[in-house]
Amino acid sequence: MYEARVVFTLRSRSKYQFDKAIELDGARLETKDGRICGEVIVQAEKADPNLIMKKALEKANKIASLLTLLFGEGFALEDVPRLVVAIRKEEHVVEIVICDFVRVEVSSIVRFPEEILSKKEESKLKELSNKLDKLSNLERGEDLLRAIKWWRKGYLEEDEVDKFLDYYIALEMLASIRGYKDVKEFSEDHSITYKPDGRISIKNIRNLLLHALGQEKDEAEKLAKLCADRFGAELLRVIRKVVDEAA
């Protein structure tokens, strides 16, 4: 059995600062230059970089989803260059470093003193971690984890139209998971009913973005930009509810 020490970096729109390193789901997290850096030990049957990379990315994405559900912000490990992998072999030691070089605009600083990330938040994180572990074993659990990943992607998207479309993919997945054939019905049942102009629904905006031309499409893009952030906030509320009920 081989052990790999894996280091990864998560990014978000905000800049994070922890007073000290914290332990989360077997990973050690600390902050550097506003980003959350994690370190975790990955075990593998052989010193296979692809296998270790796969296990490491699964762990990093789970941590990102946990932080998203806790803090209400998207965290992502995206565009990881496969070439940026340093492997050190010394007897049975394999060391891998995963880096995220995508730049992101920093809008605010979120500082968490030591006492905030102690008993209450530690209990909440453990509860969320257990729920995500359970989801992996449920029939549609992996689909729900993918929906969370699409939400995280949308949250970090700088183009508001693309942000809206990423959120919509997550919405479609949630509707399917809950057995709905119609996104509109799912949205109404879960209070995702905001219409930026008072007339056109989220579903219709999405359809116009994909199929309309000319002025009609331009208008749909304006509406998507107007409602993207609120749509995302309403969707995260539903994601948390579905996670609670599924697990």
Domain ranges of the chain: 2-137, 141-246
How many of the other CB atoms lie within 10 Å of CB of 246? 16
Band (pLDDT 50/70/90 cuts) for residue 31 is confident
Q: pLDDT digits over 201-245, tens only?
A: 899 999 999 998 899 999 999 999 999 999 999 999 999 988 887
Q: Specify the range with the lowest mean pLDDT, choosing from 3-7, 53-57, 108-112.
A: 108-112
Backbone phi, psi, residue 228, to 5°: -55, -50
pLDDT at 138 over 70: no
pLDDT at 124: 65
Query: What is the pLDDT averaged over residues 8-34?
Result: 84
Contacts of 17 (CB under 8 A, 6+ apart): 31, 34, 109, 110, 111, 112
How many CA atoms, within 13 angstroms, populate the side-chain half-sphere of residue 162?
7
Q: Provide the percentage of residues in the chain whose pLDDT is more than 90.
A: 28
DSSP label of 39: E
Question: In the numeric block, which tokens belong to residue 147?
Answer: 């929906």
pLDDT at 113: 45
DSSP label of 20: S
pTM across the whole model: 0.76
Q: pLDDT digits over 172-208, tens only?
A: 999 998 899 889 999 999 988 888 878 888 999 999 9
Q: 184 near 193, Cβ under 8 Å?
A: no
Map residue 27 onto helix, strand or coil: strand
Q: pLDDT digits over 139-184, tens only?
A: 677 888 899 999 999 999 999 999 999 999 999 999 998 899 889 9
Closest to 131 measured CA to CA, from 43, 25, 231: 25
pLDDT at 111 over 60: no
Residue 216, amino acid: E
